[in-house]
């Protein structure tokens, strides 16, 4: 190795920031085998339990017989199939937009959008806690990046004031580490419509929020006021990939200019076909969303009685703020010894002094499993 890397790795270990992958077996779900041991998982983003849904899996199997495994090329070569095209049309209809465009990952979608629309003469104004992919997207575009205090509209206003540059206001819809919902109506009220676009990454809102799972824009009834809407398919949809929805001109611009779309292999067509099935289920999953709301409400009531410091979240992401990295790791390890899998989230993913246990719920969880989690949490206090 031409570079010395041991020092960096040792520093990560000493600071409690070293990351270790778990080896999991079997289907995604509350009950898993990780590192050879059975665990009850509360750390997945499979919010509606669709990752192991039999109908979705059957669609994947049947589509593999038709399309094979790999797509073979980028969308603009010969990797764009009728399955991809149908899914894009159905996502556009689902979100009430003119067009949709599939990307291989949410990270690539955000990189592609911002770098295609902005350059060094432009401005990105982003919530302090947006996902890392949005920050990297702004940096890659070359645009000037300004951050406003999390959810603080006065802070947002100050960064937009007296600035005539073309700009994008960026926010998560549901913040991935805090679980809180962005104040979309207030954000919309801040913009100058003549030279400002709003981009919302609603990776954690789709499927969960809104009457039909349409996410934050359906929750707030402000779909027409958000110019660029990004979603991922690997969370509530239960499959893989991502999409961007918006106007005809936006999508055509991305097809021509988004490098992370133009220069990457298309997702397998069988995944697109499976996602078409998951989309149908998601739109009619009122019972799953109702169950999620029940589990979240019960957890918050019981956790607060235990004296746990919860974040201000009504979504399946329920952070328990611990403070120190060492304490968060110790609590996570103690839970793991009891067969409960809850991730410890540490800096730099979250700010210093706000290390936490990130509890996430799925409609696949049972009330009995929730009770088991609460008993385990009480034991680590």
Tell me the CATH number at 328: 3.90.1150.10
What local confidence, expressed as pLDDT, does residue 51 receive?
97
| Average pLDDT of the segment spanning 335-357 | 94
Alpha-carbon distance 85 to 272, whole Å?
A: 9
Q: Are the C-beta atoms of 261 and 101 separated by less than 8 Å? A: yes
Residue 239 near residue 233, CB atoms below 8 Å: yes
pLDDT (0 to 100) of residue 3 = 83
Torsion sign (Cα): 68, 72, 78, 82: positive
305-318 b/e with 16+ CB inside 10 Å = b?
eeebebbebbbbbb
- How confident is the model at residue 381, as a pLDDT? 83
Q: Which domain holds residue 323?
A: 21-48+285-379
- Given this model, what pLDDT does residue 153 score? 96
342, part of any domain: yes
Per this entry, what is the length of the chain? 381
Tens of pLDDT, residue by residue over 38-77, are 999 999 999 999 999 999 999 999 999 999 999 999 999 9
Residue 192 pLDDT class (50, 70, 90 cuts): confident
Pairwise pLDDT comparison (357 vs 195), residue with the higher score? 357
Query: In the predicted model, what is the mean pLDDT of the chain?
Result: 95
Give yes or no: residues 59 and 149 share one domain. yes
pLDDT tens for each residue of 75-103: 999 999 999 999 999 999 999 999 999 99
pLDDT tens profile 222-269: 999 999 999 999 999 999 999 999 999 999 999 999 999 999 999 999
pLDDT band (50, 70, 90) for residue 283: very high
Indicate the number of domains in the chain. Answer: 2
Q: What CATH number did the domain enclosing 93 receive?
A: 3.40.640.10
Q: Are residues 178 and 311 in the same domain?
A: no
C-alpha Rg value of the chain to the nearest Å: 21
pLDDT at 17: 85
- CA geometry: angle at 179 spanning 177 and 182, to 5°? 110
Residue where a domain terminates, one of 238, 267, 283? 283
For residue 322, pLDDT over 60 is answered with yes
In this predicted structure, the answer to whether residue 1 has a pLDDT above a threshold of 60 is no
Segment 103-160, tens digit of pLDDT: 999 999 999 999 999 999 999 999 999 999 999 999 999 999 999 999 999 999 999 8
Inform me whether the pLDDT recorded for 194 exceeds 80.
Answer: no
* pLDDT given at position 361: 98
Domain assignment of residue 15, yes or no: no
In a domain, 357, yes or no: yes
The reply to whether 16 falls in a domain is: no
Closest CA to 350 of 380, 319, 327: 319
Tell me if 14 is assigned to some domain: no
pLDDT at 12 over 70: yes
> Using one digit for the tens of pLDDT, what is the confidence trace for 207-223?
999 999 999 999 999 99
Residues 264 and 293 both lie in one domain: no
Q: What is the DSSP string of 85-139?
A: HHHHHHHHHHHT-SEEEEESSHHHHHHHHHHHH--TTSEEEEETT--HHHHHHHH
Token pair of 80 as six digits: 């764009």
Does a structural domain hold residue 255?
yes
Question: Which residue, 268, 283, 298, sits at the end of a domain?
Answer: 283
Helix or strand (DSSP H, E) at 372: helix 367-379
235 belongs to a structural domain: yes
Would 79 be classed as within a structural domain? Answer: yes
pLDDT above 60: residue 4: yes
| Mean pLDDT, rounded, for 286-302 | 97
Nearest to 119 by CA among 170, 172, 165: 165
């Amino acid at each position: 190795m031409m570079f010395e890397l041991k020092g960096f790795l040792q520093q990560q270990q000493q600071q409690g920031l070293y990351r270790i992958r778990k080896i999991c077996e079997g289907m995604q779900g509350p009950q898993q085998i990780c590192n050879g041991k059975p665990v009850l998982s509360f750390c997945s983003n499979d919010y509606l339990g669709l990752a192991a849904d039999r109908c979705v899996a059957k669609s994947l199997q049947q589509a593999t017989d038709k399309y094979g495994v790999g797509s073979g090329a980028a969308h603009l070569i010969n990797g764009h199939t009728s399955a991809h095209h149908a899914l894009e049309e159905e996502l556009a209809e689902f979100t009430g937009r003119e067009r949709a465009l599939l990307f291989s990952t949410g990270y690539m979608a955000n990189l592609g959008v911002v770098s295609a629309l902005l350059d060094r003469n432009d401005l990105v104004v982003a919530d302090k806690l947006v996902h890392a992919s949005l920050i990297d997207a702004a940096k890659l575009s070359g645009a000037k990046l300004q951050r406003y205090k999390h959810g603080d509209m006065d802070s947002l206003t100050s960064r937009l004031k007296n600035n005539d540059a073309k700009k994008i206001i960026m926010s998560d819809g549901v913040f991935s580490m805090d679980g809180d919902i962005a104040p979309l109506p207030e954000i919309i009220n801040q913009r100058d419509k003549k030279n400002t676009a709003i981009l919302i990454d609603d990776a954690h809102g789709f499927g969960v929020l809104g009457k039909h799972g349409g996410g934050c824009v359906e929750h707030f009834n402000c779909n027409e006021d958000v110019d660029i809407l990004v979603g991922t398919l690997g969370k509530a949809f239960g499959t893989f990939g991502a999409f961007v929805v918006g106007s005809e001109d936006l999508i055509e611009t991305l097809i021509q200019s988004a490098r992370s779309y133009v220069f990457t292999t298309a997702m397998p067509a069988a995944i697109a076909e499976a996602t078409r099935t998951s989309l149908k289920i998601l739109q009619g999953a009122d019972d799953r969303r109702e169950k999620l709301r029940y589990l979240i409400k019960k957890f918050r009531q019981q956790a607060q009685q235990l004296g746990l410091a919860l974040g201000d979240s009504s979504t399946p992401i329920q952070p328990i703020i611990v403070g120190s990295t060492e304490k968060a790791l110790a609590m996570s390890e103690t839970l793991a010894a009891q067969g409960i899998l809850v991730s410890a989230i540490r800096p730099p993913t979250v700010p210093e002094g706000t290390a936490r246990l990130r509890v996430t719920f799925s409609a696949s969880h049972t009330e009995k499993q929730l009770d088991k989690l609460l008993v385990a949490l009480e034991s680590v206090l």
